[in-house]
Amino acid sequence: MLVGYVAQPGNGFIDMYHEFIYDVGFDRFQTLSYEFLAEITRSELEKNPMSASSMESLIDEGEVLLSDLVPAAIQRLSDVTKFADFARAIVHLVYEDTKLYAWQWLTAEGLRYEQRKEMEIHSAIDDDTSAVRAFTALKNMLLELGYTGVFMFVDEFERIAQLSPKDEQATLNSVRHLMDQNSRGLCILFACAPEVWQGIMSEYHAFSERIGQEVALQPLTEEKIQRLVEDYLELARESGNADGIDPFTESGLQTVLQRSQGNIRQILSICSRVLDEAADNQREKPIGEEKVIETIESM
């Protein structure tokens, strides 16, 4: 499967698409290109590359010529994705002279006509409709390669409420169209503030009817906040240093829990601020209730 993270929905689905492609990254997309060429090589030539790296080696060593592969690869990928320009961009990711142009096109950053002409690409990903088409093409390519599908994680979906009603509806419609065109091989997870989510679900029925499951996050308990803080601290601890929730005390974390009402984001924000101030002041004492309250009141 292919997983991508979108930090926030932006001003429309094309922004979500752009962030998703960037999060997956150039290297991964180039690997997908080599994987598809390996698929074509196995079916068209007497070679049997079993991975992207082995396919790249065959090309670098001259054992397989791109000129023998590219026409068949573009035709096959065009048939699979129903988007010939997407197929050409994917294949051009392996060409030294055009790989950056291809990547720029795939990320919806736009290209000059001359740059697109060099790759025989005739269109652009420049609106929500073309972004939905490109995303669907990507998913279809992945299924052809044997992937289970695409997973898109969209964070801070509540920001969609900051858009004008027209743009908000257009974005939700684009997501709905994406869902309709991809009944299998696609999973989208939205993280959204409850009050905004309830409004979306009540006002946009065509969108809400396509949501398979809702999960309400519950406030953390005292036991869970200790485990959360300990896990985060372990990421930065040097070997041999303190363990557990140190330098926080249990009373300090109880205060954090009370003031944050169990909200994970608030917990992490408060703890981070407390640690920063303790480090700036070269504080060596354990961080208890008094220090937490002092820091919160200064925020």
| Residue whose structure tokens are 């291809």 | 102
Residue 239: its pLDDT value, please? 66
Compute the distance between CA of residue 52 and CA of residue 30 in angstroms, rounded to an integer: 9
pLDDT, position 299: 73
pLDDT in tens, the chain (299 residues): 999 999 999 999 999 999 999 999 999 999 999 999 999 999 888 788 889 999 999 999 989 899 889 999 999 999 999 999 999 999 999 999 999 999 999 999 989 999 999 999 999 999 999 999 999 999 999 999 999 999 999 999 999 999 999 999 999 999 999 999 998 999 999 999 888 999 999 999 999 999 989 998 888 999 999 999 999 988 887 766 667 888 899 999 999 999 998 988 899 999 999 999 888 877 778 888 888 888 888 77
- Could you tell me if 155 and 191 are in contact, meaning their C-beta atoms sit under 8 angstroms apart? yes
Residue indicated by tokens 């009603």: 165
**191: Cβ–Cβ under 8 A, 6 or more apart, which residues?**
153, 154, 155, 156, 157
Report how far residue 169's alpha carbon sits from residue 298's, in angstroms, rounded to the nearest whole number. 40
Q: What tokens were used for 38?
A: 């390996």
Looking at residue 241, its pLDDT comes to: 63
Structure tokens at 21: 């492609």
Rounded Cα distance, 100 and 253, in Å:
49
Tell me, what's the pLDDT at 37?
95
In this prediction, residue 286 carries a pLDDT of 86
pLDDT of residue 267: 93
pLDDT for the residue numbered 149: 92
d(CA 77, CA 145): 11
Q: Kindly report whether the global pTM for this prediction surpasses the value 0.75.
A: yes
Cα(155)–Cα(177) distance, integer angstroms: 20
